[in-house]
Amino acid sequence: MLILNKKDLEELLPMEEVLDVLAMGFREVKEGRCVVPVRFHLTVEEYQGQFLFMPAFLPGLKQSGTKIVSVFPKNTSKGKPTIYATYLLSDPTTGELLAIIEGATLTGIRTGGASGLATRYLARKNAKVLGIIGTGFQSFFQVRAIQAVRPIEEVRAYDFDQKRLEDFCQRMSPFIKVYPATNPSEAVRRSDILVTSTTSKTPVFSGKDLKPGAHINAIGAFRPDMREADDETILRAMIVVDTYEGCLSEAGDLLIPMSEGKLKKEAIHGDLGDLVTGRKKGRRSDEEITFFKSVGFAMEDVVTAHRAYEKAIREGKGQRIEIY
């Protein structure tokens, strides 16, 4: 059995390859060759946290595995990451455990990859300014993925936590021009592409600030009582989801306006699999505002984990152990 850590994954998973395996995975989903239950939540109310269990089986690709994730927003006050995760990659023909993989980095890479894939179909071709609201762990991977599909020249970033914002700007500055914003509006008004990556329960920006032709990747809110986008944004935008099943179960950005009678399910243009397979078109004009809502999908983990495992075996990376 193989153990792959953060450094291994960063070396094994260039973003261009991640986009390719995710596109392959979404095609499998659209063709009905994917078994992915809606993830199971275990709430730990005493510490305001959650555990999430995300299994997946792709029979056509002979891939299977389960991710175990913890999301504890108050960890930031303790100097710890909000998210911890571990991925268990298995052989679906025998049940054998093939690898234990550091799951937070895997999650960051595949979540960035999903946004990059959506951006490929939904953002304007000449989008050059990327806005980031919420500069925590996920933000770095979002920038990497979007840079892989669009000619990004600068990043406008905002976070209510000044220290976190400063750390992000310092980390990114060797790779791209980064400008800290003093408020969300300052970042949004300049952005061709906007990423929201927060755990907020209330909208984090005003839809009135969006430029014509802006594209939004809303990746942070992952529960029915959480939202990052306001009604103005949702009602102005062409909406694409990672999966209908996941978003119609968990995405407060959509479920809250639906419960208030402001949005109908039929208003959702399609899912990412529709775009990848060409069943539906992405952006229809340079003026259109597009909105990608992602709550995470276990297929993304298994195809990304499997690519890392295959390359690690081939290149002799990772740590081998015996537990049976």
Give the pLDDT confidence of 170-180 residue by residue, as tens digits. Answer: 999 999 999 99
Whose tokens are 């006050």? That residue is 77
> pLDDT tens, 26-44?
999 999 999 998 778 899 9
Mean pLDDT of all residues in 264-269: 96
Tell me which of 7, 67, 74, 265 is the catalytic residue: 67
Query: Higher model confidence: residue 221 or residue 121?
Result: 121
Give pLDDT, residue 83: 81
Catalytic (active site) residue 78: no
In the chain, where does DSSP find H-type helix? Answer: 6-12, 15-30, 103-122, 137-147, 162-172, 184-190, 231-236, 244-250, 252-259, 272-277, 298-315
What are the boundaries of each domain within the chain?
Answer: 2-106+299-320, 108-297
Phi, psi of 234 (to 5 degrees): -60, -40
Architecture of domain 2-106+299-320: 2-Layer Sandwich (3.30)
Cα 36 to Cα 34: distance, rounded to the nearest angstrom: 6
Buried b (16+ CB within 10 A) or exposed e, 47-70: eebbebebbbbbeebebbbbbbbb
Give pLDDT, residue 40: 86
Task: Determine the residue type at 316.
Answer: G
Mean pLDDT of all residues in 71-84: 88
Tell which residue, 101, 92, 33, has the closest CA to residue 311. 101
> pLDDT tens, 303-316?
999 999 999 999 99
Q: Among residues of the chain, what percentage have pLDDT more than 90?
A: 92
Give the best-scoring range by mean pLDDT among 21-25, 83-87, 246-250. 21-25
Task: Note the pTM of the prediction, 2 decimals.
Answer: 0.92
- How would residue 97 be classed by pLDDT, with cut points 50, 70 and 90? very high
Give pLDDT, residue 198: 95
CA atoms within 13 A on the CB side of 3: 6
| Annotation: CATH topology of 108-297 | Rossmann fold (3.40.50)
Tell which residue, 59, 55, 66, 54, has the closest CA to residue 25. 59
